Amino acid sequence: MDLTPFAEAYRETNRRIVQLLDFLSALQGLSEVSPIVTDRRGMLDQALKGLLENQNMSRCSVFLCERDELVNAAGLSWADLIGLPGQVARRAFPVGNGVMGRAVATGMVQYASDCRHDPDFLSLPAEASPEISSLISVPIRSGDGVLGVLNVSHTESEAFGPDEERLLTLYAHFLGQMLLNWQHVHRLEEQVGQRTRELEEALEEARELQQRFQTLAVLDDLTGLHNRRFFFAEARAIVARALRQGVGISVILLDLDHFKQFNDQFGHAAGDRVLRDVAMAMGQLVREGDVLSRFGGEEFVLLLPGTDLDGAIGLGKRIRQALAGLEWMFDGSEPQRITASIGICALVLEGPRQDPSPGDVLEGMLSRADLTMYTSKDAGRDCLRVSTLELLDNH
């Protein structure tokens, strides 16, 4: 009995089993490639490396559709694996040209069994690539569309058969799913990154707005001085510290004389300019630690920590001198000047006392300064009057 047919069948079965096992190894390698990697080319290189190591081929590559071109996204040869030169540089072909173009246009596997005699085969320059004698181009599908082409080549003609076509078609299917997953993951990452940037920008805008509102909440937008709200919050703390340390403080209240008539005659813009100039002149006279605020309208207030009555009177006189040096001309008018009525109250600590509330002390000082300011107005304006608030020391 002739056993030759059985031996040939056994060898063929063994060859196909080995081929299948090699292909399964390639698929296993593909399944281990993570779509979370940031570099698409690196991901494709890993996928092609597993294919090249487990299949009989000289080179494999992936070309992806970008607009009207097929662009080389990744490629490996045995020369690349063993560290020899010879990797093909990035190239692009018009969609529809060559064997790859047929694969995209038809959505079917294209096999050039002898590239030297295939009119559609587009060869590369000899110095850029080893000789290609047979080539399989397998569409990488995505639903009803085509993402690109998986190319497998060999230096020998007729190197591939129907089994290779079927196995490579399956491999291209899984490769397409991997590419889709990569696209979805990185599209999501881009969206998350974009949303994160938008959120960071929104938070920065919110912080800027918060800072602006906080600034506006304590500053007078016309003069740039602190406003009434800031004054009371800061003044209470200063008064409390003065009471603990047993040191004096003083308050100066200032009201511009006849400002309403000035405003009515020359307009609000002129009045605003006067208020700004007065605020600037007073600001140049105060020390660090003094609290100068616009109290409202044409009224200003100064809290002077560690300043006794004589010190407050001296500053009040300097303020009057500074105001006397200011003048304005509006619409061809004669030089205009302005004066102020000033009231001063100094806190005096002496003799036994009960610890008072800082708020009550501040209110008392402001009340007395206000009374003395109106005393200045009753005295003919452009002058200052003084008063004291005495607290008994409890020691």
Q: Which residues are catalytic?
A: 298
Query: Per DSSP, what are the bridge partners of residue 342?
Result: 254, 384
In the block, tokens 């009995």 appear at 1
Q: Where are the alpha helices (DSSP H) in the chain?
A: 4-31, 40-54, 78-81, 98-106, 162-218, 228-245, 259-266, 268-283, 309-324, 358-378
The three-class DSSP label of residue 123 is: coil
CB atoms within 10 A of CB 266: 18
Q: Kindly list the strands in the beta sheet with 134-142, ordered across the sheet, starting from the edge strand earlier in the chain.
A: 92-94, 69-77, 59-66, 145-154, 134-142, 110-112
Cβ-Cβ contacts under 8 Å for 274 (sequence gap 6 or more): 256, 259, 262, 328, 338
Q: Please, are residues 334 and 376 in contact by the beta-carbon 8 Å criterion? A: no
3-class secondary structure, 110 = strand
What's the rounded Cα separation, in Å, for the pair 133 and 128? Answer: 15
Residue 240 burial class via C-beta count within 10 angstroms: exposed 0-12, middle 13-18, buried 19 and up: middle
